[in-house]
Amino acid sequence: MSKSVLIVNRKAPYGSSAPREALDVALTCGVFEQPVSLLFLGDAVFQLLKAQQPDAIGQKNLASNLSALPMYDIDQLFVCAESLANNGLDPDDLILPVTLLEKDSVAPLFANHDVVLTF
Amino acid sequence: MIFSIVIQSAPYSRQAAESALRFAQALLDAGHSIHRVFFYADGVQCGNNLASPPQDEINLPQHWQQLASEHQLDLVVCIAAAVKRGVLDQNEAGRYEKSGHNLADGFELSGLGQLAEATLVSDRVITFGG
């Protein structure tokens, strides 16, 4: 039995432990051979920014960990288009290819997954 | 229905951990079953038996212990999240050469695989403090 898992990211990369904990859950579910998708909403779009330099604040680079997701067969990455635009970002600013979602496509994404975990 | 509950926030700072307890009680009262309660991130503090709230405030670890013993609940605390936040069982205290251990009875340290497994066997997984 397998269940699809949607990991919903809502927080900026280094203000809390949530992004790293979300990533650990994504990788664990991947190991359990569950289909995993990630959605980035609100400030979480900053998690995907290129050229992060967190060593200046003693943190590990989240973007380089996220960029390893395709190696774990996790390549369903969704980004809220409005969140990206509101933060003045563009898909070219992101480390991985993503699917942009308009606001009214977010609810169907939730509905299409068996399990939704929010971080 | 079979539920699992994920708790990500610490007691006393936010309402979420207490809401999770009330939700669990409501599920059981309604005849549902709880496959597992998984304590993650700051939620690991729910299993800290050194928490000593004033007498007129809720003692969350104690309430979980009581509910767990009444209903044979599986209370799993994420080991990686717990150890780095100073919630250790006897085994981990030995491993890290600490002078004491503080994981409350009725709670168990284990890995994230327990969360993945819970998503597989539960009809619903509800997150508090996410």
Q: Where are the domains of chain A?
A: 5-118
Give the residue from chain B lying closest to A7, CA to CA. Answer: B130
Work out whether strand A36-40 and strand A76-80 pair parallel, antiparallel, or are unpaired: parallel
Name B46's Cβ contacts closer than 8 Å, sequence gap at least 6. B7, B10, B11, B17, B39, B60, B61, B64, B77
Q: Compute, in degrees rounded to 10, the torsion defined by CA atoms B81, A118, B17, B108.
A: -40
**Residue A4: pLDDT above 90?**
yes
Name A9's Cβ contacts closer than 8 Å, sequence gap at least 6. A18, A19, A22, A38, A39, A40, A41, A44, A47, A119
Specify the DSSP element, H or E, that contains A62: helix A62-66
Express each pLDDT in B13-64 by its tens digit.
999 999 999 999 999 999 999 999 999 999 999 999 999 999 999 999 999 9
Confidence at B130, pLDDT banded by 50, 70, 90: confident
- Active site (annotated) includes residue B78: yes
Confidence at A19, pLDDT banded by 50, 70, 90: very high
Write out chain A residues lying below 8 Å of B80, CB-based: 24
**Residue A1: pLDDT above 80?**
no
Instruction: Write the residue in A5, A29, A117 that is nearest to B127 by C-beta.
Output: A117
Q: CB distance B130–A28 less than 8 Å?
A: no
Q: Which two tokens stand for residue A87?
A: 């933060």
**Residue B91: pLDDT above 80?**
yes
HSE toward the beta carbon, residue B64, CA cutoff 13 A: 33
Write out chain B residues lying below 8 Å of A21, CB-based: 8, 40-41, 81
* Nearest CA among B61, B71, B51 for reference residue B105: B61
Among B7, B76, B78, B109, the one annotated catalytic: B78
CATH class of B2-128: alpha beta
DSSP letters for chain B: -EEEEEE-S-TTT-SHHHHHHHHHHHHHHTT-EEEEEEE-GGGGGGGBTT----TTS--HHHHHHHHHHHHT--EEEEHHHHHHTT---HHHHHHTT-S---BPTTEEEE-THHHHHHHHH-SEEEEE--
The position carrying tokens 């997984």 is B125
Express each pLDDT in A74-104 by its tens digit.
999 999 999 999 999 999 999 999 999 999 9
What is the structure's pLDDT at A51?
A: 87
Could you say which architecture CATH assigns to the domain A5-118?
3-Layer(aba) Sandwich (3.40)
Instruction: Write the residue in B40, B81, B120 that is nearest to A1 by C-beta.
Output: B120
